[in-house]
Structure 1
Amino acid sequence: MERIIEEIREDLDRRIAVAADRLADRTLTEDPAYAALLGRGELRERIHHTLRQAVEGLVRGARGLPPDLSDARATGALRAEQGLPLASLHRVYRGGGRMLWQSLTEAVAAHDRAALPRLLPTAPALWDVLDRMSDAASEGYHRAEAERRERERERRAALLDALLDGTGLPAAEAAAQLGLPERGRFAVIALDSGDPGGPAGPRPGGAGGGAAPRVLWRVRADGETGLAELGHHPLESLRELLDPLGVRAGVSPVVTDPRELAGARRLAGLALRTSARPAGPGTALLDERLPGALVAADAELAARLRRVVLGPVLALPPEDCRVLLTTLGTWLTCRGSTTYAAQRLYCHRNTVSNRLRRLEQLTGRTLSDPAHVVELALAHAAVTQRATGAAPPAPEGPGGPAVPPARTGAPTPAGTARRSPRPPG
């Protein structure tokens, strides 16, 4: 085969040049992607070069050598960077293969028609070379595409960091590069990094659309944060978006300027800290949890609240402490109704009254005084947040130990039944 190709080399080169012209014209006519990317001269040159490389690969195969695929890989990588669909690249390789075989048979027939039968066994070898070149182009394409996606992911992450941390690029520039409006309605979502679903779970809203707010997610070691572009959607729509995922989430108030997003992220974190983990998944909107957020905002003051207001209760044996705090939390949830609290706790109304009376005696505060109720509610939030935080409860010095976690099956301090976290994945 090598000898035949050498004998027809000049005629084959001429025919290949004509084939490259025809394939370039047809490709530019039939494939808009190529037409938008390359001019005729550049495309014709590339096709011509590829066909000649296929011939050289056939010659190398006859010598027992593999074809040189480096140029095919480079071509695939270049087309990926240029955004050409891989299917378009494959079509040109297939079309080039058909034209090369036609040019080869015509050149052999013109040189010596009797040699045509000797050409037939060459067909599998030629198509093997073309397949290997096409595969190498695909390999280069996929590798470049993966690298491009990673660069885009890193760029997108840096832009989100600039908005959510208030560092790096100016907020207006970062927002513009992310396709966010200069003025709009935004909110920040903070997800609990301790959820079994974890940051790798499915997240809604990444692609935008009219049915739900567009959410851009940022995953870091300290947790997962979402930047929601609300548009015309109410803030409550984020709860509808997040609750089906079975995660704990905190949501900031609405802000209108991208420069306010770093502050909104801090508020979303505070909203998340007001949500008790044992109570199960759920979405906490900051404006619905302002008292708890006040406590979460200052750990030192929260500790002081626990010691000063509920210190005598925290000093009780663990079971007594748990019962009194659970009763207080349920009574607060039931808006001060002893009857409803008793129904929640599955006990008699008088039992609830006796527990509350004992709590009043221990704390020196009365539940009929609104100011005292505020103190008790904030102190209860401080105890609950400490007991459900990442760190295990520990003694607080003179004020006694933090409240121990409720036992499995018991009501939570908020008076609601515990929900099981969703399974991983």
Structure 2
Amino acid sequence: MERIIEEIREDLDRRLALAADRLADRTLAEDPAYAALLGRAELRERIHHNLRQAVEGLVRNLGGLPVDLSDARATGTLRAGQGLPLASLLRTYRHGGRLLWQTLTEAVAAHDRAALPRLLPGATALWDVLDQMTDAVTEAYRRTDALRGERDRQRRAALLDVLLDGATAADGPAASEAAAQLGLPERGRFAVVAVGPGTPALPPGTPPAAASGPGAVPGSVPSPRVLWRIRADGETGLVELGHHPLEAVRELLVPFGVRAGVSPVVEAPAGLARARRLAALALRAAPASEGPRTALLDELLPAALVASQAELASRLRQVVLGPVLALPAEDCRVLVTTLGTWLACRGSTAQAAQRLYCHRNTVSNRLRRVEQLTGRTLADPAHVVELALAHAAVVQRAAIAVPRPADPAAARPSPTPGGTARRSPRPRA
């Protein structure tokens, strides 16, 4: 076999050059990725070189020597760095292998048709060489692509840190530049979501839902784009809302069953650092006892106010509800839960009784005891504000389970005479 190749070497080289021309034209015509990356002359030269390398590999293989795969590895590394899809690279290698065998048989037939049967045993050796070259180019490509992907993730994380932390190094990009490199507009509608630690892992990206194509729901609208940043204290997401309402963030997170806080909407990347702090505040303000829940900051501003001032919250608990907290644990729990339920029901003793599965007089008696212990009356709006803030401080610290309405309608004042919305809980005479 080696002797036949040496005898046809000159003709084979000429035929390989023509084969490289044909394969280069075919590749550029069929593969847009190659057409966008390489010119014809460069691609043709690379194909020609690979075909000759395969012939040399065949000769070495037949002689019991290892195949030199350094060029194949270099090609895999180069194409991965250039961003050429691996499928495109392997397709060209496969086409080149079939073309090489065809060219080799044509050269042997032209030299001595009677020698063709002597070529057949070399087919196994040739495909072994081609397999080795393909494996080498694939391994090098994947290794390089993995390193490039890690660098891209690190770079994106650094850009997100610029936006979410608001601190820019002297030689680092400004917020507007970081946003541009992440593909974010200068002006728009953005929000930040903070997910607490110990929750189920979120996907690295939240891709928009397909608005068209096979399997798409007719009339479906792409979901907001979310860029996630994993931190030691949880995950942070930068949400590009577009025309979506802020409520869309809650809908987006429902399938993942996480506790999360969401900032108000900001209109420029420069406001994202402040939005991150507000999202974290919303997460702290949402009672952990309620389980997985996405809390919008604007829905719990009083609780967020308490959460933002830890020292004052501690003082508020002691000054306003100190006598209640000093009771035995079960008595304390009952009174705090009753107060929280009454507040959640907007001052309706009847609705609170339904929620607590007890008589309304029982609720009134418990609330009267809270008034007696705290020296505050639920008929005074100023006292109600104090009690509500102190209750929020207690819940945030002790995680006492306080029922909340399942929907906004559940907390509306009762239209029946039995309701006592916005009035003192004392039963009528």
Task: State the secondary structure of the residue aligned to 1:231.
Answer: coil
Which residue, out of 202, 223, 227, partners 2:238? 227
Contact map agreement 2:205 2:228 (CA 8 A) in 1: no
Distance 1:52 1:204 in 2: 44
C-alpha distance in 2, partners of 1:25/1:243? Answer: 51
Q: Is the 8 A contact 1:279 1:416 kept in 2?
A: no
Structure 2 partner of 1:413? 402
Q: Once the 2 structures are TM-superposed, how far is the Cα of residue 416 of structure 1 from its aligned partner?
A: 6.2
* 1:180 to 2:191 alignment: no
Report how far residue 415 of structure 1 moved.
4.8
The corresponding residue for 1:151 is 151
How far apart, CA to CA, are the structure 1 residues paired with 2:30 and 2:240? 40
- Of all paired residues, the percent bearing the same amino acid is 76
Q: How does 1:98-113 map to 2 (within 5 A)?
A: 98-113=98-113
Whether 1:189 aligns to 2:178 is no
Q: CA deviation at 1:5?
A: 2.0
Structure 1 residue 258 displacement after superposition: 1.0
What displacement does 1:201 show?
3.1
**1:262-277 residue pairs with structure 2 within 5 A?**
262-277=273-288
Q: Which residue of 2 aligns with 1:81?
A: 81
Q: CA deviation at 1:343?
A: 0.7
Listed as ranges, the matches of 1:120-269 within 5 Å are 120-168=120-168, 169-195=173-199, 197=200, 200-202=201-203, 205-207=206-208, 210-269=221-280
Flag the 1:240–1:29 CA change in 2: closer, same or farther, 3 A: closer
- AA in 2 matched with 1:201: L
Aligned: 1:302 with 2:313: yes
SS at match of 2:146: helix
Which residue in the other structure is 2:418 paired with? none
Q: Is the 8 A contact 2:344 2:405 kept in 1?
A: no
User: Within 5 Å, which residues of 2 pair with 1:313-324?
Assistant: 313-324=324-335
Q: Whose RCO is larger (CA < 8 A, sep 6+)? A: 1
Letter in 1 for 2:402: P
Listed as ranges, the matches of 1:19-34 within 5 Å are 19-34=19-34
8 Å contact kept, 2:286–2:295: yes
How big is the shift at 1:68?
1.7
Give SS of 1:340's match: helix
Matches of 1:297 and 1:37, distance apart in 2: 54
**CA distance 1:277–1:416, change in 2 (3 Å):** farther
* Alpha-carbon distance in structure 2 between the residues aligned to 1:335 and 1:30: 69
- CA root-mean-square deviation: 1.8
Alignment partner, residue 280 of structure 1: 291
Aligned CA distance change for structure 1 residues 415 and 32 (closer, same or farther; 3 Å)? closer
The 3 A distance-change label for structure 1 pair 64 and 212 is same
Distance 1:235 1:99 in 2: 58
Deviation digits for residues 274-300 of structure 1, max 9, x if unmatched? Answer: 111121222211111110010000111
- Give unpaired runs (5+ residues) of structure 1: 389-404, 406-411, 418-425
Paired residues of 1:24 and 1:47 also in contact (CA < 8 A): yes
Tell me how far 1:25 sits from its aligned partner.
2.3
Q: CA deviation at 1:39?
A: 1.4
Q: 1:203 to 1:38 in 2, by over 3 A?
A: closer
In 2, the alpha carbon distance for the partners of 1:180 and 1:221 equals 25
Contact 2:109-2:116 within 8 A present in 1 as well: yes
Aligned amino acid, residue 9 of structure 1: R
Contact 1:190 1:249 in 2 (8 A): yes
Q: Aligned residues, how many?
A: 392
Counterparts in 2 of 1:325-344, with a 5 A limit? 325-344=336-355
Residue by residue over 1:292-326, the C-alpha shift from the partner in whole angstroms, topping out at 9 and shown as x without a partner, is 01000011111111111111111111111111110
The aligned residue for residue 49 of structure 1 is 49
CA contact (8 A) 2:345 2:405 kept: no
Equivalent position of 2:425 in the other structure: none
Amino acid at match of 2:317: R
- Deviations, residues 370-401 of structure 1 (Å, cap 9, x unaligned): 1111111111101111123xxxxxxxxxxxxx
**Partner deviation per Cα, 1:66-111 (whole Å, 9 max, x = no partner):** 3122211221221122222222222221221122112222332333
Question: Which digits, 9 at most, give the CA deviation of each residue in 1:200-248, with x for residues without a partner?
Answer: 2347743477432222111111111111111211112222222333211
* Residues 144-164 of structure 1: per-residue CA shift (max 9 Å, x gap): 222222221111111111101
**For structure 1, which segment, 57-66 or 24-33, has the greater mean C-alpha deviation from structure 2 after superposition?**
24-33
Greater mean alpha carbon deviation, residues 173-182 or residues 101-110:
101-110
Contact 2:258-2:292 at 8 Å conserved across structures: yes
| Whole-angstrom distance in 1 between the partners of 2:68 and 2:204 | 44
Measure how far apart 1:115 and its partner are: 2.2
Per mean C-alpha deviation after superposition, the further-off stretch among 301-310 and 141-150 is 141-150
| TM norm structure 2 | 0.87
The superposition leaves residues 163-191 of structure 1 with CA deviations (integer Å, 9 ceiling, x where unpaired) of 01002331111111111111111111111
Letter in 2 for 1:108: V
Matches within 5 A, 1:35-46: 35-46=35-46
> Partner of 2:5 in structure 1?
5
Q: Is the contact made by 1:72 and 1:137 (CA closer than 8 Å) also made in structure 2?
A: yes
Corresponding residue of 1:391: none
Matching residue's letter, 2:253: L
Q: CA deviation at 1:358?
A: 1.1
Q: 1:244 to 1:64 in 2, by over 3 A?
A: same
Secondary structure at the residue paired with 2:385? helix
Contact 2:189–2:266 (CA<8 Å) still a contact in 1? yes
TM-score, normalising length: structure 1 = 0.88
Q: Could you say which residue in structure 2 is the equivalent of 1:384? A: 395
Q: What SS class does the counterpart of residue 279 from structure 2 fall into?
A: helix
Q: Which secondary structure does the structure 2 equivalent of 1:172 belong to? A: helix
In structure 2, distance between residues paired with 1:220 and 1:30: 44
